Structure 1
Amino acid sequence: MKKNFLLFLTFVSVSVINAQTIEEKIAEKACECLQKSSKITEDVFRDCLTKPMSELILTDKDPKVRESINTVEGIKTMILKIQGVVSKKCPDLVPELMANKEDVFYSESKNKNAQNSYVIAKDFMQKSDYKTAIESFQLALKEDPNFVLALDDMAVSYRQLKDYDNAIKYYKKSLEIYPEGNFALMNIGVVYTLKSDFKTAISYYEKLIQYHPDNAEGYFGVGKNCIMLNEDEKALDNIFIAHIIYTNEKSEYVKDSEQLLGALYQKMKSENKEDVFKKIAAKNNVKIE
């Protein structure tokens, strides 16, 4: 059994490397379109994404590629994936408001007292003195209530103390200021998982996917929580996507996605659902032999 399990993982790893070829092609066309625009607004950006998407997908020889945009959800998912690739291929052509949000919100406080208290709090965090760190973060936030980094790290400190309710409280405060914040979205999902509130965890991971479609952690988080809810097919879909991204990025986390894929394969095989597993694999351009 161990030999077959390793063989399965090898096929997955080898097969997924070219799985995003269509996204790469569309992203190249989108970048060419953006280069021709004198002023890149968010509307122009979206147009340059969607026009080559329709052209290339509808003329692709692989029917599975064409089928991927047969639903509204499929179209939305494809646009989000392409947006993530474009942001890497031609970051200078991404609209300024979209490109700079992370730099703006994940920056030092302009209030010197708030920033000084934050630095002191981080020192306490490094020493694992989370209670004292929280006191310093509170001083920072008293001076600058919209200090996202302090809100996020306050939440981390509460999480380390296993005070999950307060951790959630501060992640939510962070997300009120910066709804796209990948750190808060990812970690509030983790906290809800620790509280065994798997459905709420999934909702935050899905928001992470919406705002950051190239971040594997969103798909992986959805997959893990779906397993806990026995929603194996949805779990499999998301873990395949996470595995593809991890593989393409040569991430060390590819081992984690391999483990989950292997566990799901064995579970579904024992339930006589091996064909369902292979069907979902094929949908994600992964060949199982």
Structure 2
Amino acid sequence: MKKIFLIVLITLNFSNGFSQTTEENIAKQACDCLNKNATITEEIYTSCLSSSMVDVVLKDKDIKVRESINTVEGMQNLLQKSNAVLSKTCDKISKKETESEGKKNTFYAESKNKQAQNSYIIAKDLMQDGKHKFAIESLQMALKNDPKFVLALDDIAMCYRQLNDYDNAVKYYKKSLEIFPEGDFALMNIGVVYSLKSDYKTAIIYYEKLIKYEPNNAEGYFGAGKNYFVLNDNEKALNNIFIAHRIYTENKSDYTKDTELMIGTVYQKMKTENKEDLFKKIAKENNIAIE
């Protein structure tokens, strides 16, 4: 009981320290770099962001800023945070995100095949009633009439997950991602399934894909953070969970309670390992004051 009480006592406050300015400077320079290109490929995006980070950090007179990328974890954390700022502030990227929303509307749409759509509607009612085995049969009929029906693929995977058939859940989430690689529902939930299968490294791969496609989706960071924690990589766990906490806080989400609890759990573990100073260092790098 004492440990739980200590976890609750941790108060998280955001501060406007050096790294927020650094992230903004990196994002601005990366945006200027991207604007020089007619089209943005993944290679161009990564190159602009990485080169901007190195240039901004090396030119900064504050030694703390330069020290922030002395470790792989520190470099990845700064890249993640700069990426999130870039996606919010750069018009060219915002336009790309609008296009991404357009893709979602296309792939997360009703089937144009009437028989497939009717079977899907029946399946949703069965799912609502907890009759997942019967729902699977109806979803199979939907997919027979429309094999590229993403919503049906995602829901049949969800049904298998509810039945603890994780292998089939993975199979159908992968089929969904073959059609729509950026699908946030499939990426998030396949990460959950791999966690349930205790395949934490693969879970992280999918959560990081979600982060890549949606830099402001807290679920990607929180999912990755929890899996890094299980793998005893406390530094990567904290960096991801702090970012998730910031996004949840900005969005006034109830999930801030979950991130606070997880941060408290990591703190207790690091405290028993005499790594309180490292915990505070990572918190400071994320502009979070621990009280």
Q: CA RMSD in A?
A: 3.5
> Match for 1:277: what amino acid?
F
Match 1:42 to one of 40, 43, 64: 40
> Match for 2:40: what amino acid?
E
Bigger relative CO (Cα 8 Å, ≥ 6 apart): 2
The CA distance in 1 between the partners of 2:157 and 2:48, in whole Å, is 39
Match 1:137 to one of 136, 139, 149: 139
> Match for 1:162: what amino acid?
N
> Match for 2:127: what amino acid?
M
Structure 1 residue 156: deviation in Å? 0.4
**Secondary structure of the equivalent of 2:194?**
helix
**Which digits, 9 at most, give the CA deviation of each residue in 1:93-144, with x for residues without a partner?**
3376444222221111122221121111111111111111111111111111
Give the equivalent residue in structure 2 for 1:231.
233
After superposition, the Cα gap between the structure-2 partners of 1:63 and 1:250, relative to the gap in structure 1 and judged at 3 Å, is farther
Give the equivalent residue in structure 1 for 2:282.
280
Question: Are 1:174 and 2:176 counterparts?
Answer: yes
In the superposition, the TM-score normalised over structure 1's length comes to 0.80
Unaligned 5+ segments in structure 1 are none
Question: Are 1:265 and 2:264 counterparts?
Answer: no
Structure 1 residue 17: deviation in Å? 7.9
Query: Following superposition of structure 1 onto structure 2, how do residues 183-222 of structure 1 map, counting pairs within 5 Å?
Result: 183-222=185-224
Query: Following superposition of structure 1 onto structure 2, how do residues 1-289 of structure 1 map, counting pairs within 5 Å?
Result: 5-7=7-9, 9-10=10-11, 13-15=12-14, 23=23, 41-42=39-40, 64-65=64-65, 81=81, 84-85=84-85, 93-94=95-96, 97-289=99-291
The CA distance in 2 between the partners of 1:85 and 1:241, in whole Å, is 12
Structure 1 residue 23: deviation in Å? 5.0
In the superposition, the TM-score normalised over structure 2's length comes to 0.79
Contact 2:16 2:287 in 1 (8 A): no
Unaligned 5+ segments in structure 2 are none
**Secondary structure of the equivalent of 2:289?**
coil
After superposition, the Cα gap between the structure-2 partners of 1:275 and 1:98, relative to the gap in structure 1 and judged at 3 Å, is same
Structure 1 residue 265: deviation in Å? 1.0
Contact 1:134 1:154 in 2 (8 A): yes
Aligned residue pairs total 284
The CA distance in 2 between the partners of 1:109 and 1:96, in whole Å, is 22
The CA distance in 1 between the partners of 2:62 and 2:251, in whole Å, is 25
The CA distance in 2 between the partners of 1:210 and 1:41, in whole Å, is 18
> Match for 2:144: what amino acid?
K
The CA distance in 2 between the partners of 1:161 and 1:117, in whole Å, is 20
